[in-house]
Chains A and B, each alone.
Chain A
Amino acid sequence: MPSIESTDVKKLVIACDAGMGSSVMLASNVKKQLKGTSVIVEHTPVDHIPADADVVMCHAGLAERARKTRPDMVIVPFRLFMGDPAVTKVINAIKNGGTIDG
């Protein structure tokens, strides 16, 4: 599985199927939490993950599709749109340093 040092993360993408609902809400929360850092947060459909994304977070049910689209990227699956420990872990790594595993 790919991994990345948090200091190398420039763009974080939150992906869902259509990119119009749940990913929008989570992206807005994450953006708020990463305010003050230089990390760009975007939301996209899972089949359209941009090539320059460093870390992708998506619902566990879509992780396989995301891995198919971007096999070399760090894909972090989550289950809860609010307060998921996997999401918190990524945010804490970006803020405090550490490795993010896909």
Chain B
Amino acid sequence: MAEPTETATEEQSVVVTDLLAPASIVLGTTASDWEAAVRLVGGLLVAAGAAAPEYVDRMIEREHSVSTFVGEGVAIPHGTLAGKDLIVKDALSFVQFPEGVDWHGDRVVICIGIAAGGNGHVPILAQLAELLMDEERAAALRNASSIDEVIELMTPDPETD
């Protein structure tokens, strides 16, 4: 990964906002069903210039074949392999549904949209995986009340790979 530098933590850590722009984070909203939720997170990726509008259809397709629910009230919608050429740049979006959205029988409060052609987003997903193993921090993410709080929770710890 990044070369060690004298200004250690700042230089080595991933800048979350490069991938997850504050404008792509929406808190405290609602969606009538999972499809509406995917259209919302997908629309944010399109608005960020990260993917063509058709990418959102690939995200819905993917959700029909295998749910992207990962546990702890979190789903990570993304396109299919066939939809990869619709991606312009790597980006993430984040939407919080405090009332929850029915996700093929699971309840989803946090939806993280992914458009990724490369591996730039891997450290952030690794951080998410770690965060969700910790019940307290998973709850903090579900209950986050500010964009800064979301960004802070999603920032990879510099000491882990």
Contacts and interface: CB of A to CB of B under 8 A. Distances in A.
A80 B116 CA distance: 22
A32 B62 CA distance: 27
Contact of B133 (A18, A22, A29, A59): A29
Nearest to B83: A18
Instruction: Say whether chain A's binding surface is mostly helix, strand, loop, or mixed.
Output: mixed
Contacts of A45: 81
A81 B80 contact: no
Contact of B125 (A28, A80, A83): A28
A80 B83 CA distance: 24
Given A20-B78, A47-B81, A81-B70, A25 B129 contact: yes
B70 A24 contact: no
Contacts of B76: 21-22, 25
A62 interface: yes
B132 interface: yes
Interface string A47-83: 1000000000001011000000000000000001111
B128 interface: yes
A85 to B, nearest CB: 14
Given A20-B114, A25-B126, A83 B71 contact: yes
Interface string B107-136: 000000010100001100110111011000
A62 B65 CA distance: 9
Given A45-B81, A47-B81, A21 B68 contact: yes
B70 A32 contact: no
B84 interface: yes
Interface of B: 62, 65-66, 68-72, 76-81, 83-84, 114, 116, 121-122, 125-126, 128-130, 132-133, 160
